[in-house]
Amino acid sequence: MDKKEELVKLLINKKYTISFAESCTGGKMAAAIVDVADASKVLNASFVTYANEAKIKYAGVLPETLEKYGAVSEETAGEMAKGTAKANGAQVAVGISGIAGPTGGTKEKPVGTVCFGYFMEGRLWTETVVFPDRGRNIVRDMSVEHVMDVLINELKK
């Protein structure tokens, strides 16, 4: 069983639904779930919130958060996760915002920097991972793999 199948199975077993607010991954996380049979049992809705306006409108990110911390921040990713869970009535939600490249990086936030927000069972936590800059789509794929690893580990607890 691959990671996608394992994640869907764990969600089904717990009777959880999942939603995503994706920026740099552009829907790849939701697509990974949809690749699996029975995806409809766990995925009811997801958002691709590439623009800041979309993060505000669909994922409930506060304009002040974006202004103060930027789109690529744990604060924003956390609000994306929590807002998406609320909007879709999901028990599990993930917010993903990062710099996939090849441009957009800074000294403080180099290309490959991805911020994640996780909301599960009413608990919110965030993290930042700096993936190696091996190209835009590799950073995006590594982000999806990372989220699956984190969620599988958390759901097994």
Residue 7 sits at φ, ψ, to 5 deg, of -65, -45
Q: What CATH number did the domain enclosing 23 receive?
A: 3.90.950.20
Token pair belonging to 130: 């700096």
43-63 tens-digit pLDDT: 999 999 999 999 999 999 999
The tokens describing 157, both together, are: 């607890």
Q: Which domain holds residue 102?
A: 3-156
pLDDT at position 18 over 90: yes
Pairing mode, if any, of strands 47-48 and 92-98?
A: unpaired
Query: Which pLDDT score is estimated for 78?
Result: 98
pLDDT of residue 1: 79
pLDDT in tens, 91-143: 999 999 999 999 999 999 999 999 999 999 899 999 999 999 899 999 999 99
Tell me 40's DSSP state: G
Mean pLDDT of 5-14: 98
Q: Return d(Cα 56, Cα 59) in angstroms, integer.
A: 6
pLDDT, tens only, 77-91:
999 999 999 999 999
**Number of structural domains found in the chain:** 1
Q: Which residues, in sequence order, are bridge partners of residue 118?
A: 94, 125
Which ranges of 2-135 would DSSP assign to H, the alpha helix?
3-14, 28-34, 52-59, 63-69, 74-88
The phi, psi pair for 9, rounded to 5°, reads -60, -45
Given this model, what pLDDT does residue 9 score? 97
pLDDT (0 to 100) of residue 37: 95
